[in-house]
A and B are shown apart, each in its own frame.
Chain A
């Protein structure tokens, strides 16, 4: 098990991503952040905070639970059935530019589910993807627009993102087998 990101590097990555968001979208008008549960949610809040620090604009922030949209739910039992949590998107996503936030990008299946879920809420003008770690091994044609860190991994390894708000500490760990749960 090795640490690939500490609190400092994580914070700098999120600050850089926030600047990239502003550059690419020319400001924050029509933007909204939606974090994918669990760890995408605090990351989305941190980016909203960083954007506020740079631009003094409030970007609406929501939380998306994708459990009910998973493609593996009724197929292969990969582990215990996931617990459904609340989706909280208290604003209309119609015609907004949505910034979807997750901690780790791996097969792309979570993002596929999240896109399906988002479309059920309305018709956004665009959806951009922010991930803290891109570990490769995509199984679907999905690509992140903003990446905190590209991390080459083997499929047998797992990436564990730990966040202050949930785990009491900011760090990203690369875990070698036999631990097997991925993102």
Chain B
């Protein structure tokens, strides 16, 4: 059982809880193979997807997961909502709460926004990405995908390469992989490397060759153009030459390496098309697994609700 009724970050989970979510997700994968891809588990529950930042993959994935569990869902893209008319985050959410949803899945550009709501609202909050802080369901689906291929997480060498500074995917993955005993190498240009990375149990390097050498898993991170308000890299072409994942670099990893990317990919910037579409790539499996992992999270948190009632 999960200890909290919210999922705010990997930092709050212990290895047993992570294991339970991954086991439950494994059972959920079978539902996608059925003729009727729906179970009645969350019938009568209302889930609000509240996205203050654009998202296609994560929002769609949550929506599919909610529908497969028979929850009633509504998705609010905040670009067209009252926030643009000057309403505060808390007022927006209080108004939604007046309609008695059971869970709120939210993405926000500010780190810690879901934590604030979890303290002040009745609904269970699922963090679908908060600023540069955490993106727990992404780390869980990454772990699920790795485990499907490697049958374990402990002892693996995982190289995470790219824009480390702006990446909530990095933070959640480092939290999770450390807890599960994997060894994480983080690689990126020094301008995009957060200070004190080593303090989080990560081995920082600016050499991609060193990072991917003998790696079991290579996880590429997107260059987040929309968050770059300074001059972090000279040019995308220069970045590709120094940090891009090419077939030659993949060859330095273990022969059974898997290549991951949380999406959306910038082909020719952080990853070569031949690698993205190549035999080691599990990028589309990550998307498929995302639905099962989110179903698991929704199921486990809904059970928490029932216990708390």
List chain A positions with a Cβ less than 8 A from chain B. 65, 68-69, 73-77, 80-81, 83-88, 116-117, 120-122
Contact = CB atoms under 8 A, between A and B. Distances in A.
B303 A81 contact: yes
Interface string B33-67: 01110111110110000000000000000000000
- Chain A interface mostly helix, strand, loop or mixed? loop
Interface stretch (B24-32, B141-149, B220-228, B254-262): B24-32
Interface of B: 1, 20, 23-24, 26-28, 30, 34-36, 38-42, 44-45, 69, 296, 299-300, 302-307, 309
Given A69-B39, A77-B307, A120-B36, A84 B302 contact: no
B30 A68 contact: no
Of the listed residues A69, A75, A76, A83, the one surrounded by the most CB atoms of chain B closer than 10 A to its CB is A83
Given A68-B41, A86-B26, 10 more contacts: A68-B40, A73-B302, A74-B302, A75-B306, A81-B304, A81-B306, A83-B23, A84-B296, A120-B38, A121-B34
A87 B302 contact: no
A120 B30 contact: no
B149 to A, nearest CB: 18
Contacts of A117: 39
A114 to B, nearest CB: 13
Most buried by A among B28, B30, B69: B30
A85 B24 CA distance: 7
Given A68-B299, A73-B306, A81-B1, A120 B34 contact: yes
Given A77-B307, A83-B24, A84-B24, A68 B39 contact: yes
12 contacts: A65-B27, A73-B303, A74-B306, A75-B306, A81-B304, A81-B307, A84-B24, A84-B28, A120-B34, A120-B36, A121-B34, A122-B35
A88 B44 CA distance: 27
Report, nearest first, the 10 A-B pairs whose CB atoms are least far apart.
Answer: A81-B303, A68-B39, A84-B27, A68-B41, A77-B307, A120-B36, A86-B27, A74-B306, A84-B24, A87-B30
Contact of B27 (A76, A85, A120): A85
A4 B44 CA distance: 42
A111 to B, nearest CB: 16
A84 B305 CA distance: 17
